[in-house]
């Protein structure tokens, strides 16, 4: 019961202070600071090193105070990296194919920034009992063979920095192709 009340209180703080959330000066941002992505080792497979014909399908399903969302990113190399984005801002009730959102091209710098976020997931994000919980999976199809990875993130700390590019930022780029 105490956990439910704490979760509700954090949700209410976030909703009641929208300007604070937009500027990042809210309680949640202070409680769940972004990690130093440069400290995580980049271990293959890496998006930035995808070869011709190699792909990775990344799926992120997030539940939060007011529902959830699910997105799928089909990433193919070599650079510039092409990303086809599908998804919706509600959790699907079945196994239907997600609607197409758009496509994005990642330059080599963005690909490395995405690799750093994947390295964070591989390291095991801290369980800070955030009000959002994400399940992330990556299915790699490489010339060396297939590989599947799976992570859970309850840290609320993944964000864009000079050294990181979040999955949600890629979704937003696909949704708003006129913005960088």
Query: Which run of H or of E encompasses 138?
Result: strand 133-142
| Global model pTM greater than 0.85 | no
Query: Tokens at residue 75, please?
Result: 């990433």
Element (H, E) at 60: strand 55-64
Per-residue pLDDT band for 25 (boundaries 50, 70, 90) equals very low
pLDDT score at 92: 72
Mean pLDDT (whole number) for 92-102: 82
In this predicted structure, the answer to whether residue 107 has a pLDDT above a threshold of 90 is yes
Phi, then psi, of 149 in degrees rounded to 5: -130, 155
Instruction: State residue 89's pLDDT score.
Output: 85
């Amino acid at each position: 019961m105490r956990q439910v009340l704490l979760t509700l209180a954090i949700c209410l703080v976030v909703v009641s202070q929208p300007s604070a959330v937009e500027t990042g000066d809210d309680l949640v941002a202070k409680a769940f600071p972004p990690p130093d992505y440069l400290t995580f080792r980049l271990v293959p497979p890496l998006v930035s090193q995808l070869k011709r014909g190699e792909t990775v399908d990344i799926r992120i399903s997030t539940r939060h105070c007011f529902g959830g969302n699910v997105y799928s990113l089909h990433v193919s190399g070599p650079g510039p990296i092409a990303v086809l984005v599908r998804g919706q801002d509600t959790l699907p009730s079945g196994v239907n194919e997600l609607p197409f959102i758009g496509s994005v091209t990642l330059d080599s710098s963005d690909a490395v920034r995405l690799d750093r976020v994947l390295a964070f997931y591989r390291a095991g994000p801290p369980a800070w009992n955030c009000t959002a919980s994400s399940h992330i999976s990556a299915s790699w199809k490489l010339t060396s063979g297939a590989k599947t990875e799976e992570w859970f993130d309850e840290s609320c700390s993944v964000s864009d920095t000079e050294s990181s590019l979040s999955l949600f930022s890629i979704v937003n780029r696909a949704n708003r192709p006129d913005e960088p």
